[in-house]
């Protein structure tokens, strides 16, 4: 995925990979279903997150936090005094986790197929003749992924802290704060667990920990960490989808509780 010199770019038409023309293929399996489902899933999430981050706040006011719960779309909550009331604080931070997802190696492979048929699926003809991969502008910018990884690790710390805060509830009658557990706490905790599983399986993290070394056997701690990341990495696609769903659902849960549409059930 790194920038290749022009001399080693792939040929325009790798031999034996696909027939000419959009959708032309020798494959006899149902190759179109998966990119179709992926496209619908990504579109639904993008529309929901844009509505939640940009419109929900100006339309319904402060609906992103309730009791000790804060929507993950708004964490860490950054709200400078000079910001006008209608301005959603999510705009200031969402570019970081959004950039992490958009540049993720799994998502790239998935949305190149689903959104611009490049190619529609493996060994299926595509609507263009030239193929430069990610070796030229603008897709070469995808290599910024490793820097988004650093930000994503930083954001995880805030999300863990949000779960800690979701364990403390204030009694509106007395103003006293006490330790407790609500369904919302479990929702936020599950979200952090899934986001962590997704982030710790990142290909860039695996490279950072040991992927660039020829031999790891002389570094037992590094080897263990590498195996651990490799374990998450093997399920990266699964965690990518589960964490996408959990982050959206956590936002929805906090919002609907905040608006009084759902009631948070307190376990103790």
Interaction site with ligand FES (CB under 6 A): 104-106, 145, 149, 202-204, 236
Residue 90 or 229 having the CB closest to ligand FES:
229
Q: Distance between CA atoms of 226 and 207, rounded to whole angstroms?
A: 9
Smallest distance, ligand FES to C-beta of residue 264, A: 31
Q: How far is the CB of 47 from ligand FES (least distance, A)?
A: 22
Nearer to ligand FES, 114 or 202 (CB): 202
Give the pair of three-digit tokens for residue 124.
């299926």
Residues in the chain: 268
Give the C-alpha separation, 246 to 266, whole Å.
20
Please state the closest distance from residue 146 (CB atom) to ligand FES, in A: 8
Q: Are 188 and 162 in contact (CB under 8 A)?
A: yes
Residues 6 or more apart in contact with residue 217 via CB below 8 angstroms: 223
User: In whole angstroms, how close is the CB of 202 to ligand FES at the nearest point?
Assistant: 3
Nearer to ligand FES, 56 or 198 (CB): 198
Question: How does strand 69-70 pair with strand 65-66?
Answer: antiparallel
The residue (of 106 and 111) whose beta carbon lies closer to ligand FES is 106
What are the two backbone dihedrals, phi and then psi, of residue 264, each rounded to the nearest 5 degrees?
-75, 125
């Amino acid at each position: 995925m790194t920038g290749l010199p022009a001399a080693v770019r792939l040929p325009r038409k790798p031999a034996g990979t696909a027939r000419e023309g959009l959708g032309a293929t020798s494959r006899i399996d149902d190759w179109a279903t998966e990119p179709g489902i992926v496209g619908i899933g990504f579109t639904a999430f993008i529309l929901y997150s844009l509505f939640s981050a940009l419109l929900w706040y100006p339309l319904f006011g402060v609906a992103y936090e309730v009791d000790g719960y804060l929507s993950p779309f708004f964490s860490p909550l950054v709200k400078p005094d000079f910001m006008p009331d209608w301005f959603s604080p999510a705009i200031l931070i969402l570019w970081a986790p959004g950039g992490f997802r958009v540049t993720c190696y799994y998502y790239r492979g998935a949305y190149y197929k689903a959104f611009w048929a490049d190619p529609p699926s493996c060994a299926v003809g595509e609507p263009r003749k030239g193929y430069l991969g990610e070796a030229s502008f603008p897709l070469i910018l995808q290599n910024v992924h490793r820097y988004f990884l650093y930000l994503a690790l930083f954001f995880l710390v805030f999300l863990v802290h949000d779960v800690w805060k979701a364990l403390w509830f204030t009694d509106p009658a007395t103003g006293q704060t006490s330790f407790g557990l609500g369904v919302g706490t479990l929702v936020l905790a599950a979200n952090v667990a899934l986001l962590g599983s997704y982030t710790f399986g990142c290909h860039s993290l695996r490279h950072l920990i040991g992927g660039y070394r020829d031999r790891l056997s002389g570094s037992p701690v590094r080897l263990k960490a590498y195996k651990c990341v490799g374990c998450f990495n093997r399920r990266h696609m699964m965690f990518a989808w589960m964490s996408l769903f959990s982050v959206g659902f956590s936002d929805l849960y906090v919002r609907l509780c905040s608006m009084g549409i759902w009631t948070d059930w307190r376990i103790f």
